[in-house]
Amino acid sequence: MTQPLFMVGARGCGKTTVGQALARVLGYAFTDTDEMLWRSTGKTVAEIVAREGWTGFRARESEILTSVTQGNVVVATGGGIILSAANRGFMRARGTVVYLYASAQELSRRLQAYPEEDQRPSLTGKPMIEEIAEVLAAREKLYQEVAHHVLDASRPPDDVVCAILQQLYPSAAS
Ligand code: ADP
Ligand code: MG
């Protein structure tokens, strides 16, 4: 299979961590739409949202998604990339989409353990666990809809990588 792999899921589910490890195993390039956004604008997500609103941020994110999609690449996406029907259609048509699922409790635990790693403006202004649960509930259907494969991402990163490889290459000896 020589096509882009898209990692989707909520903030903190491990798209960057697992995506990077997966790319290493497959010998694929790795790219992260959040990281690319930072590199192309010199601004954090919070700064872009403050200046251009979520609409401006989403437009930039879609541009980056299409520009990084070429060849053997693992693309870690932003948690909200699936909100756009165009992005969902693009990812399904151009590659294989992997949804990393983790519960709101698990996501909250990770984001509280490493709060500085992924600073995002609050979407709702509510306490973290409530906001995560609410955002997950609103997006779950879209993650499921866009995914070719759904993986339990609450296990350690290496286990998640193995599970993804088994789903992608079921006939390969492990
Ligand atoms: P995302 O890119 O989906 O927002 P990250 O890969 O940045 O998620 O992971 C968020 C935080 O959770 C990081 O601190 C990372 O080390 C940790 N993490 C990621 N995957 C796992 C996992 N499977 N088990 C435990 N911690 C994880
Ligand atoms: Mg990430």
Compute φ and ψ for 152, nearest 5 degrees: -75, 110
Domain CATH number, residue 133: 3.40.50.300
Any domain includes 173: no
* Distance between Cα 65 and ligand 2 center (Å): 14
* Distance between Cα 164 and ligand 1 center (Å): 16
What domain count does the chain have?
1
**Residues in contact with ligand 1 (CB, 6 Å cut-off):** 9, 11-18, 76, 110, 114, 117-118, 153, 156-157, 160
Q: Distance (Å, rounded) from C-alpha 133 to C-alpha 137? A: 6
Question: Which helix (H) or strand (E) segment is 59 a member of?
Answer: helix 45-68
Any domain includes 38: yes
DSSP assignment string, 100-111: EE--HHHHHHHH
User: Which residue(s) pair with 96 in the sheet?
Assistant: 5
Any domain includes 37: yes
Do 73 and 29 touch, CB atoms closer than 8 A?
yes
Any domain includes 168: no
Any domain includes 169: no
Q: Please tell me the predicted confidence (pLDDT) of residue 171.
A: 83
Any domain includes 122: yes
Q: Distance (Å, rounded) from C-alpha 5 to C-alpha 97? A: 6
Q: Crossing angle, helix 15-26 and helix 157-168, to 10 degrees? A: 60
* Distance between Cα 130 and ligand 1 center (Å): 19
Any domain includes 116: yes
Any domain includes 174: no
Q: Distance (Å, rounded) from C-alpha 59 to C-alpha 122? A: 19
Do 96 and 149 touch, CB atoms closer than 8 A?
yes
Compute φ and ψ for 65, nearest 5 degrees: -55, -50
Q: 90: domain range?
A: 5-162
* pLDDT at 6 > cutoff 70: yes
pLDDT, tens digit, for every residue of 22-68? 999 999 999 999 899 999 999 988 899 999 999 999 999 999 999 99
pLDDT, tens digit, for every residue of 99-137? 999 999 999 999 887 655 555 666 666 778 888 999 999
Q: Please tell me the predicted confidence (pLDDT) of residue 12.
A: 92
